[in-house]
Structure 1
Amino acid sequence: MSQRKGRQYTQTTLEVESHAATAEKSEGAKASGAAGLTEEGPISLGSLQIEGLGKEIRDEISSLRETTKADMKTIRDELTEKVERLFSLQAEAANIQTSMEQSLSDTSDRLTALENSCQSLAADHKKLQEKCVDLENRSRRQNIRTLNIPEGSENNTPTAFVAKFLPKVLGEENFDGPILNDRAHRNLAPKPRNGERPRPIIARLHYYSDKEKIMSLSRSKGKLSFEGAQVHIFTDMSPEVGRQRAAFNQVKAKLRDAGIQYRMLFPAKLEITADGSKMSFTDPRAVERFIDSNKSS
């Protein structure tokens, strides 16, 4: 019995000592912790600073993330607005382009119609011009044009002067009576000064047969003279036909030099007689080629 009591006492004593040692260690750890010491070693101040710096970095990153989100939203809103505006402008440009294409198509159709109309009008104009030239020349069929008669020879009575002039230069024996002419006058150009070429006299004969006879005599006699001056008698024609005939002047001179016979046909056609055959030309260049071919042969 006493032995059991001794064992209990011993166990109780050991537990008390153990609790005391544990408490002592706890107090020592607290004190050591307060003094910055642990069983593993001292706590570094740099670790505390790094931890604080990390917290600041995390806070700054969070702030930058929020700022970036706000900036991105602002940029997105601006881009959305500009893209919508671009879409609007593109749609407007597409509408304008469609309208312009339609306008160009309409203009092209109108231009084609105008070109066709212009061609038709040009053809009609050419016909009317040719008809007017023909009518003008028909109205002059009984007219003769006399060149190189000195100014003042008609003594202000050109009609009576022409009636006496023609038999005098062509031969009175060729006419049965006086030549009847309806009217005569000088060309309407300004009166020339002394030494200048006199204006031609234009006379309208009453009978076309008299005009044909006068032209035939003029060609057969060749040179005609009046008061010491050489005069020429031609058929009166419109200025347009005169310009067309004047284009043959150079080739006519070449034909005369080459001894080739020719004559002018109305309105402006040159007929050449060579080697017993007759050829007609309306282009002076074709006559020059004909003359050159004859020279080479």
Structure 2
Amino acid sequence: MLSPLLDEKLGRLSTAIDLALSQLTSQAQRLTEVEERVSTLEDGLTHLQTSVESHDSLLSSLIDKVDDLENRSRRNNLRIVRLPETVKGPQLHHVVSSWLPTALGLTDNLALTVERVHRLGPDLSPSLGPPRTVIFQLLNFSDKIRIMQAYRKANTLEHNGTTLRLFQDFSASLAARRRAFAPICSKLAAANVRFTLQYPARLRVHLHGQVTFYDSPTDALTILEDDTARSPSSTSTRQRSSNPPT
């Protein structure tokens, strides 16, 4: 009587085992398929990552080229800051073409050939804020060089009692890169160390009888902090200048 009952239970157990084995086999097959798909996706992802890196590099190169072209298109431009809004129209053209070289003490009374001149931004009431920046383009690049050299030598520029500032015209990206050097330039100037911020954004420092170049303001600040502390200020000369785009 036990034998039929045992056979029945063993049969059920065998059926359950066969079912479990079948399910395990099915799961193993599905797992193999998943692994193959994951491997395919990983290979595709690696290819996409390589492609993205290549495109990022190309995009960065193109951005640099566009920025360089923009700055070259601005190479004959200058900006005047703080010129009162009351100076406008023909008077504005006269200020930049005739008054400016005379005010900077150019002995030959250089009359600038100005291709165009205008203010940046919308025409607002003077009571709403400071005067808009004046930007003008010169015909001759050599005139720009002479004007900037005379401005640095004079170290001041006044128009009817208003102190004006004269700047080169750079793209927003390059202007930000050059501004990043402001802290280290201030430290060098305070220590009477001779330096030049060259175009596009490269710091040239004369220290301990050697000339060193820095493309990163962070590196320059870290390296020069100790050196400027040891540098004898009595034997150094302060110099600040910016080379224009060439």
TM-score (norm 2): 0.82
Q: How does 1:132-281 map to 2 (within 5 A)?
A: 132-155=66-89, 158-171=92-105, 173-176=107-110, 178-188=111-121, 191=124, 194=127, 196-281=129-214
Residue 220 (structure 1) shift: 1.3
Report deviation, 1:292. Answer: 2.1
**What displacement does 1:156 show?**
8.0
**CA separation of 1:156/1:94 partners in 2, compared to 1, >3 Å: closer, same or farther?**
farther
Tell me which of the two structures has the higher relative contact order, counting C-alpha pairs closer than 8 angstroms and 6 or more residues apart: 2
Q: CA deviation at 1:247?
A: 0.5
Q: Which residue of 2 aligns with 1:110?
A: 44
Q: What secondary structure sits across from 2:112 in the alignment? A: coil
Cα deviation, residue 85, structure 1: 2.0
Identity %, equivalent residues: 27
Q: Residue 20 of structure 2: which of 44, 63, 86 is its match? A: 86
Q: Is the 8 A contact 2:106 2:150 kept in 1?
A: no
State the structure with more CA Rg: 1
Show the counterpart of 1:47: none
- Kindly tell me: are residues 99 and 258 of structure 1, through their superposed partners in 2, closer, same or farther at Cα, counting changes over 3 Å? same
- Deviation, structure 1 residue 273: 2.0
SS for the counterpart of 2:145 is: helix
Distance 1:257 1:143 in 2: 30
Cα deviations by residue, 1:9-37 (Å, 9 ceiling, x for unpaired): xxxxxxxxxxxxxxxxxxxxxxxxxxxxx
Letter in 2 for 1:273: H
Match of residue 228 from structure 2: 294
Change (3 A) 1:235 1:217: same
Task: Name the counterpart of 1:130.
Answer: 64
What SS does the aligned partner of 2:127 have?
Answer: coil
Equivalent residues in 2 for 1:37-76 (5 A)?
A: 66=1, 68-76=2-10
Find the partner of 2:30 among 96, 106, 130. 96
Determine helix, strand or coil for the equivalent of 1:241: helix
Could you tell me how far apart the structure 1 residues matched to 2:18 and 2:216 are?
A: 71
Cα separation, 2, equivalents of 1:261 and 1:291: 14
Provide the alpha-carbon RMSD of the alignment.
2.4
Q: Is the 8 A contact 2:188 2:228 kept in 1?
A: no
Q: Work out whether residues 85 and 126 of structure 2, in 8 Å CA contact, stay in contact via their aligned partners in 1.
A: no
Partners of 1:194 and 1:174 lie apart in 2 by 38
For residue 131 of structure 1, report the CA deviation from its aligned partner: 0.9
| Number of corresponding residues | 230
In structure 2, distance between residues paired with 1:103 and 1:156: 73
TM-score in terms of structure 1 length = 0.69
Are the counterparts in 1 of residues 71 and 171 from structure 2 also a CA contact under 8 Å? yes
In terms of fraction of residues, the more helix-rich structure is 1
SS at match of 1:245: helix
Cα deviation for residue 173 of structure 1 reads: 3.6
Q: Which amino acid aligns with 1:97?
A: L
1:251 partner SS: helix
Structure 1 residues 169-194: Cα deviation after superposition (integer angstroms, max 9, x where no partner): 32364434x31111122223784863
Question: Is there any run of 5+ residues in structure 2 with no aligned partner, and where?
Answer: 232-246
1:10-29 correspondence to structure 2 within 5 Å: none
**Structure 1 unaligned residues grouped into runs of 5+:** 1-65
Q: CA deviation at 1:142?
A: 0.6
